[in-house]
Amino acid sequence: MRVSKHRDTLFHQSNSSNHPFRMLLWAGLIVAGLVLLRGVSTGEVQPLFLPTPTATRSVTSYREEGQAFFEAGNLDLAIQAYQDALAVDPTDFVGWAELARIQAYSSSTLTQENKRVRLQEALDSIETALDLNAESSIVHAVRAFVLDWSAGAAGSAAERQAFLAQASTAALLARQLDNRNVLALAYQAEVFVDQQQYTQAFQYAELALSLEPNSLDTRRVYAYVLEASGEYGAAIDQYKGAAEVAPNLTFLYISIGQNYRQLGLYDQALEYFDRAASINAVLGIEDPLPYVAIAKTYSRQGEFFAAAANALRALEINPIDPDLYGQLGIIYFRSRNYESSVPTLKCAVEGCTAEENEEADVAVVGMALDDATLPYYYTYGSVTAALEICDVSLPILDQLSAAYSEDPLVMGIVQENYNICR
């Protein structure tokens, strides 16, 4: 199957000397133009002076649109463009791999429940690519990436290890099929990090970066290796390098801010979280995660009023996301606003009706207990026990005891609250 020359520019973006904010105006213009183009192509916008209908759009046209949206930082529209291309040519295995890669990257802009849904979509896309061509090195490389990120969103340690084992196998196959595949090297390094094999991770990440120093993926992965090793300052430099290559991908600024926060440099952290929010504002993207990051930073500083204000801003963007209620409930708990934390954590853990929801007039479906939601559960169980609402606390403690009986830290919290209620 013939592969378009446009493919390499998506997987290996060239470097850019422009400052991210200098790119914002251009990004806005790109998105506006592409939205207008999509409107013309779908008939929603009628072009001037055209006596006859426009011709059916080509795969290349959709692919170029998807690449432009990706570079502009609008990953949802990039996904839609690639899906449109694949509707025209569903046998394009590289197109399915590209779609899977963007879907995985877009999961970084979503909270827990939606992240898992998006990663499952990425897994479906890459499995389709694999069915079409099981001998493609690039397909196996992207499959390693998607599986590795799925491991990061896993609900249990066993599920995480299963994903990582599959990711490692996929990366190895990718390198066996093409030992010059830089993405395979980079993604193998990322898997090594998540398996806590740091020596191998550094070796593969440094080699990938030396071969493709101006690639989003090699820069990002090397930054991740440094971050996982506690070298936060060096990680910041590499994440900034990745942001120079892809100046409108907001998850890079979130990563920079998180590393500044690890160093206790809160003003710098807030600056980069604010950059992410500003880019989203220019692009018209409603993303709660920069505000969650800002809220966590203020909470760590003990500035709980500002933390709650930003968590509430995140809830305004997505008032039915239970994870955001969990984040806000933790902030209320840490600020000793226990009475407000109870109904908010209830929405996160058990779910709540619109009448019960004190933050927004909508019903919320609670989240199941797993490693990601564990802090919401034990905080909810603890605060209700402390307030002697034991008819609520005891069933939560029972769930924790059944699911985490082998975890001494969790069981210590559970036993303390059992004692309070008894």
pLDDT in tens, the chain (422 residues): 333 333 333 344 444 444 444 455 555 555 555 555 555 455 554 454 444 455 567 888 898 899 999 999 999 999 999 999 999 999 999 999 999 999 999 999 998 889 999 999 999 999 999 999 999 999 999 999 999 999 999 988 999 999 999 999 999 999 999 999 999 999 999 999 999 999 999 999 999 999 999 999 999 999 999 999 999 999 999 999 999 999 999 999 999 999 999 999 999 999 999 999 999 999 999 999 999 999 999 999 999 999 999 999 999 999 999 999 999 999 999 999 999 999 999 999 999 999 999 999 999 999 999 999 999 999 999 999 999 999 999 999 999 999 999 999 999 999 999 999 98
User: What own/partner pairs with CB < 8 Å and gap ≥ 24 does 238-243 have?
Assistant: 242/216, 243/20
* Cβ neighbour number for residue 132 with a 10 Å cutoff: 18
The domains found in the chain, sorted by start residue, are: 1-246 (1.25.40.10)
> Do 302 and 286 form a contact (C-beta atoms < 8 A)?
no
- Hey, what amino acid is at 9? T
pTM: 0.85
> Distance between CA atoms of 206 and 239, rounded to whole angstroms?
14
The single-letter DSSP state of residue 355 is: T
The single-letter DSSP state of residue 73 is: T
> Do 250 and 20 form a contact (C-beta atoms < 8 A)?
no
> Do 155 and 143 form a contact (C-beta atoms < 8 A)?
no
Phi-psi region of 421 (alpha: psi -120 to 50; beta: other; left: phi over 0): alpha
